[in-house]
Amino acid sequence: MKYIIVTKVKWNKQNFETLNSSFKTFSNIKINKIRKISPNIIFFIHWSKKIPSSIFNKYLCIQFHSSDLPKFRGGSPIQNQIIAGKKKTKISAFRVSNKIDSGEICLKKNLVLKGSANEIYKRMEKITISMIKSLSKKRKIIFYKQKGKPTYFKRRKIYESELNLSKNNLKGIYDFIRMLDAYNYPKAFVNLKKYKVLFQDAKLLKNNELKGVFKIVTNKNN
């Protein structure tokens, strides 16, 4: 049996080191290599780009989405769920189809939404790798249709990372900062016209205080 994992980023390389030689990992869709390997399953982690129909029609493609599908389909599911006040969710493994995040489900696992986005992504990745191991051991993978009313959300834009201090309480400010606190993500910021203040490493203290790290940069929009 041969398997391919396609992931645009590895949040913790140690998670992938637990896989055996039957798994090959790519950072993008390499059609020539896929054809050469002729995998039994292609798994997609942390993947937001469109998967060509020439791939999912020929190979069994299973994608992982960090929500309890069909809820929170679409982009930025972690951030959109934290904004909605969710403290826990699911990682849904589903068969890739021509409609985004709408394919049949084969496995779900719990995911806690505490900590920074960086911590959540590492946690998600570890659980996802264990799901991949479990699915690869099955003689037959059973798929079932998604149940419930779908909800859809768009991928967040950079300008949406601006922190509105007047409309958020301390817990809301903390959640807003932590949900954007990950590698290569647009950090929460406050616009000071000439400068921009970026926030990360937020900690909500028991004495009703919030601490963290800030960085002041020149605002390129001015």
Q: What is the pLDDT of residue 222?
A: 59
Each residue's pLDDT tens digit, 100-132: 999 999 999 999 999 999 999 999 999 999 999
Place of tokens 């399953």: 41
Confidence (pLDDT) at 220: 79
Count Cβ atoms below 10 Å from residue 200 Cβ, excluding itself: 19
CATH 3.40.640.10 fits 159-218, yes or no: no
Residue intervals of the chain classified under CATH 3.10.25.20 are 159-218
Q: What is the per-residue pLDDT across 180-214, written as a single tens digit (0 to 9) for each?
A: 999 888 999 999 989 999 999 999 998 889 999 99
Which sign, positive or negative, has the C-alpha torsion 115, 189, 9, 49? positive
State the Cα–Cα distance between residues 179 and 188, nearest whole angstrom: 9
Fold of the 3-153 domain: Rossmann fold (3.40.50)
The verdict on pTM exceeding 0.85 is yes
> Where, residue-wise, is CATH 3.40.50.170 in the chain?
3-153
Least confident of 29-38, 56-65, 72-81, 145-154: 29-38
Residues 6+ apart with CB under 8 A from 219: 191, 192, 193, 194, 195, 196
**In what side-by-side order are the strands of the sheet with 188-192?**
188-192, 195-204, 210-218
